A and B are shown apart, each in its own frame.
Chain A
Amino acid sequence: MGIETLDEAGETVKESIDYANTLSGCKYADIRLGLAECKSASSENGTPKGMEEEVKISFGVRLVAGDMPAWGYYGQPLGKADLRRLSKTFRMGINKAHQRALANSRNKAAMKELAPSLSPVRLAPIEVRQDVIPAVYEEDPRGVPLKEVLALAVKITKEMRAVSPCVKFAMISLGTGISRELFQSTEGAKIDQSTALTYAHLYVVAQKGNTIPETFIDHLGEQRGWEITRGKNVYGKSALDFALERTRDTVELTGADFLPSTDEPVVVVTDPNFNALLVHEIIGHPTEADRALKMETSYAGRSWLLRGLTDNELGKRIGSELLTAFSDPGMEGYGYYKYDSEGVPAKRVILIDKGIFKGFMNGRESANIMGMEPNGSMRATECQYMPLVRMTNTVIAAGDRNPEDIIAEVKDGYYVVNNRIPSISESRENFRISAQKVYRIKDGKLVKLYRGGGISADSRDFFMNIAAVGNDFKLFPIPNCGKGQPMQVMKVGNGGPTIRSKARLTGEYK
């Protein structure tokens, strides 16, 4: 059973959507049906730890109904046997979503006096599309033998262990697959979209003597075929070479000193990989409209860019003239797609233009509340989950400087390389992000390597202090962006060029 199984499901989805439209008080409904064929294998320390080939199927229903229109949802994974009874399963889901919407609407109307801002669901209008988007790949994931995936995983961890006796743990998870999603709505949208995915997830631990072990976790991946393991990826390296480079780095770091912290900001040059996590946390998340509208307050916080609908940073300077950032699902990367999970065409959203804050990524509901055009940024990790506003390929735009010059101009500073772990304050107005490596720059040269370091700054200060932006733009895969309840772990693309700014150094705790 493969993604072609869904060829016959389109008509059932259409009939089910038509059924939803007949239910009392139904104002809107959509159904998403997805099927993913994937194979994966994992290895630790040169031994196999697992392999599987699986077909994942799931569906989700969103429905707006009631006198004071309110949402009702339903979703669930499906099995092969369900494909023979799709119509019945869809109707069960639609009926549940409908009952929830009606109950929700009744409660909302009853609470209006105590909660005057309660409002009916309104979705910003869109141009309704019907389209078919095929997956893009050179080597079809379906044609890759599972044993080849496992053999590569085992070979990689065996060679990682062989790098040095200091390597205490080497693990990799390799996977490749293809997925297809059908979307239909009561407005007449009908989208059939497929994507490929290939990834390598790496975990290495090295220890010299009884010192503190050095750990590093990294990820290689593209929404493409098996060719990415052979070097067609952002690193231009095969999965094996990528793993060995990360392993050698980790071993080298076991002999490095820990970075000392500073109380005051210093000059820092951050590389494109580090900036991927920086832009993710400090630009991507606070420019998601649902977060800005306080809908994430209980989970991942708010956005310092929007205090209220009339009190916000829109049109104001939040960074130096050198800072431009955008989100573009049209670029190849983990955030690539043609239509979002509401059937809205994906488009580039300018977030910051030469230091001026310009706008948010949104969905139809949040766009309506903000009085903006929907820009197609709603996604769910699987069809059983409800779409949320998610960043796409969200990046800092390239500048025109040679990155080597950006470092060479620094008399006394630090070069911050490869992202590691973030910790962000509640509205993303401050951050501490650690790096894999930090180098001391003295008179334009890298003179000393440190481990256990990173930077911390107030977001606005960091943006305003950007003094150089490189021409070495890169887009990296971020595989694990968590959002929502229950948490959905989404793949997104983040990146940028080398930049120079100021921040406090954060190092080993003493």
Chain B
Amino acid sequence: MIGIDELRNCVGKGLEATKKDGVELEVFASWNELVTMRLNYTSDIPSMGVQEPKSTQSFGVGVQAVFKDKGKVTIGFGSESNNLGPRAVREALRKARRYRFFDPDFRSLPSPAGTPTLSNYHDPAAMEAKDTDIVDLGWKALRGALTAFKEKGISKSIIVGGDVCVLKEKVAIKSTMGIDEFDESTILTATITTMVENESVKGTGWSTSTHLQGFDPEAAGREAAESAMRTIGGKRIPPGVYEVIFSRQPVTDLISHIIAPSLSLSFLNASNTPFLGKLGKKVCSSNLSIYDHGALPGQIASKRITCEGLPTGRTDLVSNGLLVGFLSNHYLGQKLSNPVATFEPRNGFRLHALGRDHNVQASISPTNIVVEGREEVPKEKLLSGIKEGVYIGRIWYTYPINGMAAGDFTSTVIADSFLIRDGEISTPLKPNTVRINSNINHIINNVHSVTKEKKATLVWAAEEAVIAPEIRVAGVRLDSIATS
């Protein structure tokens, strides 16, 4: 494992050694390791339990350089993998020089801006966790699920899948503009799905933490099994327009696949967002606020700094129904800011498959997205007054089916869902029988109420965590599927 001091040394000495070249430089070094225990247990088919105990790691250095030659400004980027010596920085700079070009939208490298608020928020124990201990965590998740099933006398037609992951990230950055920062983080996630197949039920459970203490894959497994068993005996519903409560996973799915991208300057830059031209205007129910906050203590997507070396923090996106901001990095923030709108670059991250990656330049990624109501209510009150509705616990394959700008989306309801009758959760909804066909503008403009209780929630392959409440929405169109 590479220590943070080695990364700091790399960027410090690298910058020093290249000073004589007279170029503006930003040197970024990273080390990441992702350890994954992928689960697969099928009671009626031979299976491995923990199918894939695996890891991959990367480290290296990336250099962003600004060259000024006879009044002409060009920029270039180069990187070097698995090397943190001065030679690596020189080689990355050589590539940056070789691949330089003129970009009329480039203004400057980032300058220091404020002081980061998080410090020492990673878990040294997780950073040093032994391989064999992480293998054990995967098996604990499986044990939790199977024990819960056994307690209810279910031993056949079981599926347990998902994964337990430990992501370790270390970065250091130093620039000729005065940035000199570093960051270390640990993210632990257990995301478990279970099924009782002959009952056509699926359940989800998860545990997330920044520290081993408090991380409980076994509880996630148990939660997934209990959730599946709760929905045994599900019924179909006729197609129609319903009062719907979106639980945390659907709220997260909608945020991750539709709303967060739409609130990114990357999409605004391409004119490909339903919020085009709406900054400062009302875009949704005044009961809804959404913000990104990368410096929330204890949350798994929190970081001390961005990958541009700037402090993370809160970026308000929607405030009481008004569109007030977009997620930004330094480059697009400078390009798109104007006299009436500025964008704070709190979301410039170099995320790749394995974490914060020296090989790529900073694009825009959300961190912790918090969804709030102006007047938040307990869950019971969310249900109150719904004569006939649907509680949706898990959706899947949520995509902006007609392009992001149109706002139309579709997804299917696959688990953890119930009918609501006379203000109470009643019969389970049969999974995979309902498709949502709607538009995101319709959803966010018809928010009736939002719960006070929230939980950090992840969906597959998403970069961000959503601190998600449950949300009641009026007039959601649900169609019947799989009728043949």
Q: Which residues of chain B are near A210, meaning CB under 8 Å?
A: 277
**CB-CB nearest in chain B for A434:** B401
User: Is B215 on the interface with A (CB-CB < 8 A)?
Assistant: no
As a 0/1 sequence over residues 65 to 104 of chain A, the CB contacts with chain B under 8 angstroms (1 = contact) are 0000011111111111110000000000000100111011
Q: In the complex, are the beta carbons of A117 and B43 less than 8 A apart?
A: yes
Would you list which residues of chain A between 469 and 510 have a CB under 8 Å from chain B?
Answer: 482, 485-487, 506, 508-509
Which residue from A70, A104, A426 sits with its C-beta under 8 Å from B431?
A: A426
Whether B132 contacts A427 by the Cβ 8 Å rule is no
| Cα of A103 to Cα of B40 in the assembled complex, Å | 16
B442 in contact with A169 (CB, 8 Å):
no
Residue of A115, A117, A205, A301 near B272 (CB, 8 A) is A205
Contacts of B46 in A (CB 8 A): 117-119, 369
Chain B residues with CB under 8 A of A5: none
Residues of A within 8 A of B407 (CB): 509
User: How far is B56's CA from A288's CA once the two chains are assembled, in angstroms?
Assistant: 25
Selected from B53, B162, B398, B400, the residue in CB contact (under 8 A) with A72 is B53
Q: Which of A51, A119, A307 is in CB contact (< 8 Å) with B99?
A: A51
> Would you list which residues of chain B between 219 and 269 have a CB under 8 Å from chain A?
269
Find out whether the CB atom of A150 lies under 8 angstroms from the CB atom of B101: yes
Report whether A426 and B432 are in contact in the complex, using a CB–CB cutoff of 8 Å: yes
Q: Which residues of B contact A299 (CB under 8 A)?
A: 161, 460
Q: How many A-B residue pairs have CB under 8 A?
A: 289
> For residues 145 through 179 of chain B, which have their beta carbon under 8 Å from a beta carbon of chain A?
146-147, 150, 155, 159, 161-163, 165
Cβ–Cβ contact A386 & B102, under 8 A = no
Which one of A118, A207, A369, A486 lies within 8 Å of B41 (CB-CB)? A118
Q: Choose, from A157-165, A211-219, A227-235, the stretch at the interface.
A: A211-219
Are the CB atoms of A47 and B104 closer together than 8 Å? yes
Interface string of B342-386 (1 = CB under 8 A from A): 000000000001100000010000000000000000000000000
Say whether B334 faces chain A, with CB atoms less than 8 Å apart: no
A427 partner residues in chain B, CB cutoff 8 A:
432
- Contact of B412 with A169 in the complex, beta carbons under 8 Å: no
B54 with A426: CB separation less than 8 A: no
Which one of B101, B103, B138, B402 has the highest number of Cβ atoms from chain A below 10 Å of its Cβ? B402
If A458-B482, A458-B483, A509-B439 touch, whether A114 touches B47 (CB-CB below 8 Å) is no
Which one of A116, A212, A297 contacts B43 once the chains associate, using CB atoms below 8 Å?
A116
CA distance A307 to B401 in the complex (A): 29
A445 within 8 A of B: no
Does B396 have its Cβ within 8 Å of any Cβ on chain A? Answer: yes
Whole-angstrom CA separation of A432 from B103 in the bound complex: 40
* Given contact pairs A301-B396, A456-B435, A487-B461, A79 touches B276 in the complex (Cβ within 8 A): no
* Known A425-B481, A461-B484: A146·B82 in contact at CB below 8 Å: no
Residue of A whose beta carbon sits closest to that of B140? A107
Contact with A213, one of B405, B414, B481 (Cβ below 8 angstroms): B405
> Which of B38, B269, B277, B412 meets A426, CB within 8 Å?
B412
Q: Could you say which residues of chain A place their CB within 8 Å of the CB of B159?
A: 294, 297
Q: Are B403 and A214 in contact (CB-based, < 8 A)?
A: yes
For residue B53, which residue of chain A has the nearest CB? Answer: A100
- Contacts of A100 on B, CB cut-off 8 Å? 53-54, 131-132, 135
B399 contacts A by Cβ under 8 Å = yes
B257: shortest Cβ distance to chain A, in Å? 10
Task: Tell me the nearest residue of chain A to B354, going by C-beta.
Answer: A486
The listed residue (A81, A168, A458, A508) touching B402 by CB distance below 8 A is A508
Contact status B83-A117, CB under 8 Å: no
Taking the nearest CB of chain A, how far is it from the CB of B335, in angstroms? 11
| 0 or 1 for each of B405-423: is its CB under 8 Å from A? (1 = yes) | 1111011101000000000
Residue B327, interface by CB 8 Å: no
Interface membership of chain B positions 185-196, coded 1 if the CB is closer than 8 angstroms to chain A and 0 otherwise = 000000111010
Q: For A74, A116, A487, which residue has the most chain B Cβ atoms within 10 angstroms?
A: A74
Task: Decide if A308 is an interface residue (CB 8 Å cutoff).
Answer: yes
| A169 and B272 form a contact (CB under 8 A) | yes
Report yes or no: A432 in contact with B435, Cβ–Cβ below 8 A: yes
Q: How far is the CB of A469 from chain B (nearest CB, A)?
A: 21
Task: Indicate with 1 or 0, residue by residue over B448-484, a CB within 8 angstroms of chain A CB atoms.
Answer: 0000000000001100000000000000010001111
Would B432 and A81 count as touching, CB distance under 8 A? Answer: no
Complex Cα distance, B437 from A80, in Å, reads: 50
- Name A118's closest neighbour in chain B (CB-CB): B49
> A24 on the interface (CB 8 Å rule)?
no
A111 within 8 A of B: yes
- Give the complex CA separation of A157 and B192 in angstroms: 44
**Is there contact, CB below 8 Å, between B56 and A430?**
no
What does the 1/0 interface line of A276-307 toward B look like (CB < 8 Å)?
A: 00000000000000000111111101000001
Do B401 and A421 have beta carbons less than 8 Å apart?
Answer: yes
* Residues 408-435 of A at the B interface (beta carbon under 8 Å): 420-427, 429-430, 432, 434
A309 close to chain B: CB less than 8 A: yes
Are B271 and A207 in contact, CB atoms less than 8 angstroms apart?
yes
Select B139's contact among A47, A111, A430, beta carbons within 8 Å: A111
Q: Name the distance in Å between B431's Cβ and chain A's nearest Cβ.
A: 7
**How far apart sit A277 and B175, CA to CA, in the bound complex (Å)?**
45
Nearest-neighbor residue (CB-CB) of A85 within chain B? B82
**How far apart are A331's CB and chain B's nearest CB, in angstroms?**
28
Inter-chain CA distance A126–B325, complex, in Å, is: 58
The answer to whether A384 touches B131 (Cβ under 8 A) is no
* Bound: A323/B322 CA distance, A: 52
26 contacts between A and B (CB under 8 A): A50-B99, A50-B361, A52-B95, A52-B99, A71-B51, A73-B55, A77-B56, A114-B150, A115-B41, A115-B49, A119-B46, A169-B270, A171-B270, A293-B42, A294-B45, A297-B161, A298-B39, A299-B161, A386-B54, A423-B412, A426-B412, A432-B437, A452-B402, A458-B483, A509-B438, A509-B442
List A residues at the B interface (Cβ < 8 Å).
47-54, 57, 70-82, 96, 99-101, 103-104, 107-108, 111, 114-119, 121, 146, 150, 168-169, 171, 203, 205, 207, 210, 212-216, 261, 293-299, 301, 307-309, 369, 384-386, 420-427, 429-430, 432, 434, 451-454, 456, 458, 460-461, 482, 485-487, 506, 508-509
**10 A-B pairs closest in CB distance:** A79-B82, A73-B54, A298-B161, A298-B193, A119-B46, A509-B439, A79-B81, A298-B162, A168-B271, A103-B132
With A295-B51, A421-B400, A430-B435 given, can you name 7 additional A-B contacts, CB distance below 8 Å? A215-B403, A294-B40, A309-B45, A426-B396, A454-B401, A461-B484, A506-B437
